[in-house]
Every structure is written in C-alpha cells, then in structure tokens.
Amino acid sequence: MGTHVSGDADAPPTVGEAQAKTYRGRSPRLASRVRPRPGPRGAGNTINPMRIYLVGGCAALGAWAGALAVWPTYRLAVPLGTAPRGDCPRCRVGLPAGWRGWLRLGGRCPACRTALVAHSWAWPVVAATGFATLAWRLPVRHQADVWLLGAWLLLTAVGLVLAGIDARVNRLPRPILVVTGGLIGVLVAAAGVAARNPEPALHAVITGAAFGGVYLVLALIGSGPVGPGDVYLAGLLGLLLGTGQLAAILAGAVLPYLLGAPITAARLLLGRVNRGDHVAWGPYLITGAVLAKVLFPL
C-alpha cells in the first residue's frame, strides 16, 4: 500500500528555508539567524492610495485654513464689549473693509508689512498637521465617517481661532461657539442619518450635556481657570467626543489637565504668570479633545 503525500510536500522550498537547510549542517548559530523571507506583499500590507490623497488634501486644506485664521484672531482678540480691531498695531492704518479685512491670506499689515500676531508662520503649520493627522487616524469607510471627519476638521480650524483669542485676552467669543456648535450638531446628525442609527447622536448629546454640566459647576465654584466660555466650549467638545468610544471621552476629559497643569506650573516658576491670574483654558480643552480623538479614533 502506497503512502499518500500531500501536494504541499512537493512544493519547492522558499529561499529562506533553503538557506536555513544549507547552513543547518554547518553552524547551528548561523542557521538560527536565517529566517524565511517574506512573500509578496499582500492586500493587508498595502497602503490605500486614497488615504494618501486624503491626508495630503486635508494637509493642504489645513494650511489654507490656518493662514486664514490669523486675521480673525487678531481682530477679535479684544476685551469683552470692545469692537473688533480695525487698524494695524504699528502704523495704525485702517485694515481693509468688508470680508477682505477678515478672510485674508498672510498675517501682515498690507501697508507696513508688520506681523499682526506673533509667529504667524506657525498657524498654517499647526492647522496642516492637525488636519493631516485626523485624516490619517480617523476611519473613512462609510459616509457617516466622512461627516464626522468633517466635524473634527471644522473644530480644528475654528479651535485655532478660539485658542488664539483665549490665549491673548482670556475669553472665548460666544457667537463663534454658538455657530460652530450648530454646524457640528448638523454634521453629527447627518452622520446618524447616514448610518441609519440614532444611537451615536444620542450618546453625543448626552456626553455634551455631561461635559457642559461639569464645567458649569466648576465655573460656579470659581476656584479654577474655568470661565463661562469654557462651559460652552466643553459642551461642544463633549458633543463631538460623544460620537466615539468611551476611551476617547475619558481621554478628552483628562488630557486638558495633563497638558495644562505642567505648563501652568512652568509658567509660574518662570514668572510668566502670578498666582491668582486667570489662565486661558480653551487651548488646553481644544488640544486635549483633538489629541484624544487621534489616540482613540474609533
């Protein structure tokens, strides 16, 4: 009776297996170093070209949005109840009227070329990095994912303006928060409709209410850096974080303090701020939320 031999036994050995067999009789140490070479790259190891295009396109869009953010930030970085700035900080020449005085590439005065904000070159870099990272990390398999990616990109672009204003005058303009919250709410609702599942939108509303409620209590206590604008911002960030997993929600709640506490302590040691001074908390809230989504994108 013959012995049945499977077809795999007749297959020629791979290059690595042949090398290992050759060296095995010569040196056990050398043979142990030989590993079979990987086969042809499969579908699981390839990089989706569409993802590359998406990341590149979002990076370019972010750079454009960051360049446009300089002028609104400069003009709106004024104390509460004060009209937006209308002239150059150096030559005092009036800024262009109409939308050209708000949506304008570059961060310099058209008359004297003075920079309107410090390090204006960094704004497009920061926005492009944020946009590209979100486009790289967030899923885009379904139409609902695309709506949510758009919401996060919107938050990043507007958040750059809000963080710049808060860092300069310690306030977050309520009209910007209300309009941004309405737009993000529409995008979250569109994601729920596209997924034919209202549960994520419901979770988002509950999380936004929870974030806003906690920060409202902190603002009423008055023993920290939280102000009225931070309450609105926390609710907005909770609405968007609530569309993801619990890990992202918890990270979005904790990361602002992990970022803000050491930086504030360092500023105190360096004498940049004094005890009792109001600390702009908006930049840490926004950065923590975006970083939480990057770390836990699902």
Q: Please state the domain extents for the chain.
A: 138-295
DSSP state for residue 227 in the 8-state scheme: -
Q: Which residues contact 164 (CB under 8 A, 6 or more apart)?
A: 69, 73, 77, 117, 123
Q: What are phi and psi of 79, to 5 degrees?
A: -60, 160
Distance CA 109, CA 107 (A): 7
pLDDT at 135: 96
Residue with tokens 């937006």: 84
Give me the helices (H) in the chain, please.
15-24, 28-33, 49-68, 70-76, 122-137, 143-169, 174-195, 199-221, 228-241, 246-270, 282-295
Lowest mean pLDDT among 51-60, 258-267, 280-289: 258-267
pLDDT at 154: 97
Residue with tokens 């596209």: 194
Cβ atoms of 134 and 295 within 8 Å: the answer is: no
Q: What are phi and psi of 94, to 5 degrees?
A: -65, 140
Taking only the tens place, the pLDDT of each residue in 25-43 is: 444 443 444 444 444 443 3
Please determine, for residue 46, whether its predicted confidence score (pLDDT) is greater than 70. no
Q: Of the candidates 38, 31, 130, 114, which has an alpha carbon nearest to the alpha carbon of residue 74? A: 114
Cβ atoms of 146 and 140 within 8 Å: the answer is: yes
Token pair of 155 as six digits = 């938050």
Q: What are phi and psi of 108, to 5 degrees?
A: -125, 155
- Mean pLDDT score across all residues of the chain: 84
Please determine, for residue 5, whether its predicted confidence score (pLDDT) is greater than 70. no
Residue with tokens 């946009």: 131
Indicate the pTM of the whole model: 0.81
pLDDT at 7: 43
**Which CA distances in Å does 216 have to 169, 209, 259?**
21, 10, 21
pLDDT at 295: 95
Taking only the tens place, the pLDDT of each residue in 174-194 is: 999 999 999 999 999 999 999
Taking only the tens place, the pLDDT of each residue in 192-243 is: 999 998 898 999 999 999 999 999 998 888 766 788 899 999 999 999 999 9
